[in-house]
Amino acid sequence: ERVFTPSNALVGLRLKLRCTPGDGAQRYGPAREVESSGPVEAGPGACTFDSRHLYTKKVCGQGSVRAVSYNILADTYAQTEFSRTVLYPYCAPYALELDYRQNLLKKELAGYNADLICLQEVDKSVFVDSLAPALDAFGLEGLFRIKEKQHEGLATFYRRDKFSHLSQHDTAFSEALSDPLHKELCDKLSEYPLVKEKVLQRSSVLQISVLQSTTDPSRKICVANTHLYWHPKGGNIRLIQIAVALSHIKHVACDLYPSIPVIFCGDFNSTPSSGTYSFINSGGITEDHEDWVSNGEEERCNMALSHPFKLLSACGEPAYTNYVGGFHGCLDYIFIDKNALEVEQVIPLPSHEEVTTHQALPSVSHPSDHIALICDLKWK
């Protein structure tokens, strides 16, 4: 076993790992030792995800895919004075520390036994030093895409014995607009220089991985992951970002790999009543939608847009996926291609009592201000 879980009896002690390289017969090299920098600490007790793990004890069968989407709260945002005093004043300071949250997060993700995990707000150092090695031990391979101008980005993990990685098609929304692929949208946007400038300033990215089933090579899948612009009045910017994203996904899933199914995960910073959600769900947005004036008349940019996919929110529209002191709402989704995939089960979200035990999120028993979405999908 590559995973060791200390018992309560080991609290207060340090761990020592001793390795002796050898071929199992007669040749052995010198032993090497490494000691943990700190002692084993007691865990937080009951966590918000413990009851969810009861539904995900085993990896799901060959014809099924367990997908997770989760904004894990970047350390670069959790460790500011503003976060401690204004955003999360209810959270014990030690529970905002990176090491504490990382241990909680690794425990949470390992217990989901997922085949696909799409994460947002992943610090580069957290991916390299913590998540990639930890999830590797559970059979998951990780891919990372950093945001321009920032220290955090997107990560997609896939189960190695279920999928092989065929190709990667990441893009930054600001860069994508100068790609001939998006010329039509760019021409429309050029009529609104103020809005275009705002879109180009944003550092949001889109991560697209094409995976192939290891047991049935005819089954390929396009896994997209994104984190859209966050500002409450940025509905118009999000509409443009999602239009670029869907156009880019169309290029991969319709042109490069004709008619492969799509799973599109992310933090869309959009509630079910928003234009962005409506656009993804219905396949189009009218030029008179109120979100085109989300930031006032000066930034109005009326466009009629459409996309060819039949997408469905696999986990429905929960009451909230983000729960902080001043706000709660549904911002995260796993959209699936309803022509090719169907939902087998949705893992229930934590109860309202669990979420609010320590007032709001993050807390000593939950590592992020968002809640992971988890569902089992099967091929039609």
Assign residue 327 the CATH number of its domain.
3.60.10.10
Q: Where are the beta strands (DSSP E) in 214-294?
A: 220-227, 262-267, 284-285
269: alpha, beta or left? (left if phi > 0; alpha if psi -120 to 50) = left
Residue 63: domain span: 46-379
What is the C-alpha to C-alpha distance for residues 342 and 322, in angstroms, rounded to an integer?
A: 25
What is the C-alpha to C-alpha distance for residues 176 and 244, in angstroms, rounded to an integer?
A: 7
Residues 105 and 220 occupy one common structural domain: yes
Residues 116 and 165 occupy one common structural domain: yes
The owner of tokens 């085993």 is 58
Residues 356 and 326 occupy one common structural domain: yes
- For the chain (length 380 residues), average pLDDT per consecutive 10? 85 94 90 92 90 97 96 95 94 94 96 98 96 97 93 97 98 93 94 95 97 96 98 97 98 96 98 98 97 95 96 98 96 98 98 97 98 97
Give the count of domains, the chain: 2
Residues 180 and 280 occupy one common structural domain: yes
Per-residue pLDDT at 9: 92
Per-residue pLDDT at 3: 79
- Would residue 267 show up in a list of annotated catalytic residues for this protein? yes
**Reported pTM:** 0.95
Residues 38 and 82 occupy one common structural domain: no
Considering 75, 115, 267, 369, which one is annotated as catalytic? Answer: 267
Query: Cα-flanking dihedrals φ and ψ of residue 293, to 5°?
Result: -115, 30
Q: Is 273 exposed, middle or buried (0-12, 13-18, 19+ CB in 10 A)?
A: exposed
Max Cα–Cα distance, the chain, nearest Å: 79
The b/e string for 169-187 (b: 16+ C-beta within 10 A; e otherwise) is bbbbbbebbeeebbeebbe
Per-residue pLDDT at 148: 78
Q: Where are the beta strands (DSSP E) in the chain?
A: 16-19, 32-35, 64-71, 116-123, 140-146, 152-159, 163-168, 171-172, 205-213, 220-227, 262-267, 284-285, 305-306, 311-313, 322-324, 327-329, 332-337, 341-346, 373-379
Residues 19 and 132 occupy one common structural domain: no
Residue 155's nearest CA partner among 258, 267, 243 is 267
Residues 244 and 271 occupy one common structural domain: yes
Q: Taking the CA atoms of the chain, what radius of gyration do you get in angstroms? A: 22
Per-residue pLDDT at 42: 81
Task: Return the amino acid letter for 107.
Answer: K
Q: CA of 49: how far to CAs of 8, 20, 38, 351, 365, in Å?
A: 20, 37, 26, 10, 9
Q: Where are the beta strands (DSSP E) in 204-321?
A: 205-213, 220-227, 262-267, 284-285, 305-306, 311-313
Residues 79 and 193 occupy one common structural domain: yes
Task: Return the amino acid letter for 281.
Answer: N
What are the residue ranges of helices labelled H in 27-97? 50-53, 75-78, 81-82
Residues 10 and 119 occupy one common structural domain: no
Under a CB-based contact definition with an 8 Å cutoff, are residues 158 and 164 in contact? no
Residues 184 and 324 occupy one common structural domain: yes
Residues 196 and 326 occupy one common structural domain: yes
User: How many residues appear in the chain?
Assistant: 380
DSSP, res 349: P
Residues 13 and 82 occupy one common structural domain: no
Task: Return the amino acid letter for 244.
Answer: V
